[in-house]
Structure 1
């Protein structure tokens, strides 16, 4: 059975077992097989896991012209991406109605949410994709594996790996186009019997477009420049069969012009830099039945925002954020085989220890926000899975997080998949809990003498369940000529953190809910043509005020296709429709602030990418984004970047 939106893969195994201690090397432009190797190297067919992961492969990134992580995620079912401007601008992801701080982002299995961000949310507008092999988006609770922050979803960026039995392979691309945009990637990778390596560098520069909505009377149509670069190096050693050691280092730095609403700001700039590294090793015991491994990882984030006085404003800004995360993980996976009524059983267990540190100063001199704090936590986690009767797959996972300075949390997740081959269908049922620990700012931050964080805050928590069915339909002369997927989800959020009644501190005072349906239809009328429609309908509510949650539209529809009339040419159109979305802060055309609940207008964005293989190893491409030049506002006052065209070529030798 095929899954809609090209790939659905092993979600609950990700949510039950270990972070990625090792991954099988794969070619630079591979298409994931129907049975994939998950984070624990336990091969699990997509049809056997009771939740959905949308997998964006290297081929998808190239064929659809995705330059940044924000662009790649925009059409994922159940995920609403809100970016306040173009490349490099702040971008937030809302999965299944959850808050942006409830999405945990990983790089090769390691959390990379910046600890110095006041709420712990991730900025999806910064990451370039030249060194990324695939992106896995897990919808639903993931705290049973990843702990804090994985309430509504987990997004794992998996970096490129050397192809097997290839001593050296060079890859790269060069492109340029409208808005003064230039983009390039250059890398080399290879593998030998005992060694493998990958080194890559990438960069992007653009004059950008006007992020401020032109409906404002005082809009100056000033564009926002962006310059970004990243470098990645990985080296692996296999000293003996079943044993592997690996090191990875990644650096990324962006410089961008920023904007304010309702008035343009001519000299507001930002610098965002991250260093990331990990060392890991694993070895197989008991003839490969038991694999044990260790991982050490370090992430350092530094962000600075500078705004000097100008003719439009006498205010000044010099904000500095430094965040650091250290991770130690010991993971084990055991193949149990047949145990009683369970076949193909597996057990995973381990210990994870994390240390976070923040040094942050922002705001005006008279109203300065500061945070200087450190926190540690340790977690024990375990998961099991097995199959009963050849068609019922069962999974369960448990994790206990223990922290030095807030109440810990016991998270769990369980699920079942029932194969119904008589109807070419599978039925899915899953449920679980998740949590988000209070950030260091929420616990220890200060704003002048008027605000003090609350060290007694409890974690934000959730309970989620989902039920779904996926069916192949016999059309166009083939058994899987069409695939229909329907999933209902429901989440209850408790102990959400907000200001207290006097705005002098924070408290666990909010409750919320979200529920909805994800519907996907994939049509395969011919070997050279397939089309996909994904519709997500979401209802959210603040259970204290009764109002809908901000920036969560009721309806989002993504339509995409892949047309390959020859083995050389691929055309990939993509259209995203977003319905009206609620806002709690808005501005009129004159720039006057509008309080209370308002709605942004609906909007549609259309993209088109074409690729042509000129010769073996060289492909020319053209990428057109926002073809209708829509000025739709994902967030009130911030417009979608204008129409753009990029042309270039990529190579693999």
Structure 2
């Protein structure tokens, strides 16, 4: 603990380069490399100063400085995020926001929703992301279903793939005999912005099972591209595409003991996603129309439990903004989505039609917005949501903000239509409250932000086992079924800060306190904390850049104690992980880099029964032209 406190006291805030802080208007710019532009607040780009909702954006320079393919090393720098991983790199990795489950956090990549319709809870597995193909990560914390609809109960994460102006490549080796190679190429000019990036990861890995002896390896190919072509001054054509293919070794429950142990099982992953559209902007009117598709397929060859799972969604959508007199603007949108899943022996499909509107006042010092959304789902019916927020700059660079947002999560197709399904399920609902104060922007020489929040949830979906209870539905669902029951509350606060200590020396800290409670009357777990939601989390960093090409940095991640199960009987101990890194620019085009992760070889657990990686060293080189 003394070691943790020492590093926490040293690292004042999260490190990142000091981006230029110009504040553009609400015109549609390239948001991939602009950390002061948010799209999660309204669905269209606007200055981050003009939203009362808490948003954090990490750009490409910071992602590159952290090094490595593992996206969770970046996500640790976002306030309020928790993640679980069932083993090493490539294993199922889920991210939650402010105590919400992963299925209650909406994830988009290049504007395409990637939460898997075939998963029981509709989560997005972030193991399919490679940091080398990511340009920026934007996280809005708190419910925002007015703009985004289902699954935006805990927050919205928007990821943009890489857009390089030129050619670059990198390769690194280390850890568990892991090789990572990344390449990117693109062009940016007055008419055309186009880029393609690819990443290859091959790792020998380590045993997924904590008591196992054999290595569980991982291999992944990841390629993404996006483009925008300006046909006229007012009209642009846009498109993006992404393909992921991977294979990961798994451990399981082999006979005759059926306890978690080494197996020869593997899982193959294939993901396709993309969007084509058109962007019109002229005379105070912005229209962004498109068609998006995503398909996620998993095939497991475990001899005891083989499976084939496929989830697919297709979506037509329109987002728009009309600038009105007197600093007012109307944001609006409409969409229709077709989803289907196959998880043998179960399958099903559904459709959803939605529409929303937001009216906003955007003054020089004051911004106020409020809006409403309507969703009509072919299986469970309709749903209304409301949200409002405001921000006031009461002194130069000082802002206070507040927001109220409603969120909902439609029952997944598996929860509705599988052999455990219940057609009578209602959507999960949440109401979120947030207030905060900030000075400057993230990356400024001096930056500070404090946020307090509370989220109340109801109609949470749980599983009823017919082996431990009786219910009329057990007549047709003998093994059990999903049902609405649970109530929950998550509340706490978050602190972000950064300071330029000296020329070239920047330090920072992100701290989150989240208290979760099961508030379901009469439930056996009433009053318990939710599983794998630590109350305390902090990430601190410090970075130094010299005038002769040398850069040095260090990170620490401190995670407090948590319960591994809903019954609060299995405890996960607190832990602290430290990384150190360095890079040296040999020339204008060549850079050497390296790092050591988990420098004091901490033995820690984030999911009971699963291994985590010990100390690991990596070296690599980058080329840019």
Q: TM-score range by the shorter chain?
A: 0.7 to 0.9
CA drift of 1:352 comes to 0.8
CA drift of 1:211 comes to 3.1
Q: Which residue does the alignment assign to 1:433? A: 406
SS of 2:318's equivalent? Answer: strand
2: CA distance between counterparts of 1:529 and 1:434?
40
Residue pairs, 1:19-38, within 5 angstroms: 24=30, 30=33, 32=34, 34=36
Change in Cα spacing, 1:486 to 1:193, as seen in structure 2 (3 Å) is closer
Residue pairs, 1:615-634, within 5 angstroms: 615-634=587-606
**2:546 alignment partner, one of 565, 585, 591:** 565
Unpaired stretches in structure 1, ≥5 consecutive residues:
10-16, 164-168, 214-218, 309-315, 362-369, 447-451, 474-478, 586-594
**1:499 alignment partner, one of 457, 463, 482:** 463
Residue pairs, 1:61-460, within 5 angstroms: 61-163=63-165, 169-213=166-210, 219-260=211-252, 263-285=260-282, 288-308=283-303, 316-336=304-324, 338-339=325-326, 343=327, 345-361=328-344, 370-388=345-363, 390-421=364-395, 425-446=398-419, 452-460=420-428
Contact 1:133 1:158 in 2 (8 A): yes
Q: Which residue does the alignment assign to 1:12? A: none
Change in Cα spacing, 1:623 to 1:598, as seen in structure 2 (3 Å) is same
State yes or no: 1:546 paired with 2:527: yes
Change in Cα spacing, 1:402 to 1:536, as seen in structure 2 (3 Å) is same
**1:535 alignment partner, one of 507, 511, 514:** 511
CA drift of 1:235 comes to 4.0
**1:490 alignment partner, one of 445, 450, 454:** 454
Contact 2:391 2:400 in 1 (8 A): yes
2: CA distance between counterparts of 1:7 and 1:444?
49
Kindly provide the CA deviation profile for residues 120-155 of structure 1, in whole angstroms up to 9, marking residues without a partner as x.
011122211222210111111121111100100111
Q: Which residue does the alignment assign to 2:614? A: 642
2: CA distance between counterparts of 1:37 and 1:399?
17
Change in Cα spacing, 1:112 to 1:381, as seen in structure 2 (3 Å) is same
Contact 2:444 2:498 in 1 (8 A): no
Contact 1:569 1:611 in 2 (8 A): yes
SS of 2:118's equivalent? Answer: coil
Change in Cα spacing, 1:608 to 1:333, as seen in structure 2 (3 Å) is same
1: CA distance between counterparts of 2:311 and 2:287?
30
CA drift of 1:40 comes to 6.9
SS of 1:61's equivalent? Answer: helix
Kindly provide the CA deviation profile for residues 533-579 of structure 1, in whole angstroms up to 9, marking residues without a partner as x.
22111111111211111111111111112211335222221111111
1: CA distance between counterparts of 2:121 and 2:18?
30
TM-score, with normalisation over the residues of structure 1?
0.84
Contact 1:80 1:95 in 2 (8 A): yes
State yes or no: 1:59 paired with 2:42: no
1: CA distance between counterparts of 2:38 and 2:31?
12
CA drift of 1:227 comes to 0.2
CA drift of 1:162 comes to 4.9
Q: Which residue does the alignment assign to 1:578? A: 559
SS of 1:270's equivalent? Answer: strand
Q: Which residue does the alignment assign to 1:470? A: 438
CA drift of 1:42 comes to 6.5
Contact 2:104 2:153 in 1 (8 A): yes
Aligned Cα RMSD in Å? 2.6
Q: Which residue does the alignment assign to 1:603? A: 575
Change in Cα spacing, 1:399 to 1:567, as seen in structure 2 (3 Å) is farther
Unpaired stretches in structure 2, ≥5 consecutive residues:
1-12, 20-25, 254-258, 471-478, 521-525
Change in Cα spacing, 1:233 to 1:636, as seen in structure 2 (3 Å) is same
State yes or no: 1:518 paired with 2:494: yes
Kindly provide the CA deviation profile for residues 330-356 of structure 1, in whole angstroms up to 9, marking residues without a partner as x.
2221222x42xxx3x322112111110
Change in Cα spacing, 1:25 to 1:462, as seen in structure 2 (3 Å) is closer
The range that moved more, 32-41 or 178-187, is: 32-41
Change in Cα spacing, 1:631 to 1:211, as seen in structure 2 (3 Å) is farther
CA drift of 1:283 comes to 2.0
Change in Cα spacing, 1:482 to 1:196, as seen in structure 2 (3 Å) is closer
Contact 2:35 2:59 in 1 (8 A): no
SS of 2:205's equivalent? Answer: coil
TM-score, with normalisation over the residues of structure 2?
0.88
SS of 2:580's equivalent? Answer: strand
2: CA distance between counterparts of 1:414 and 1:56?
25
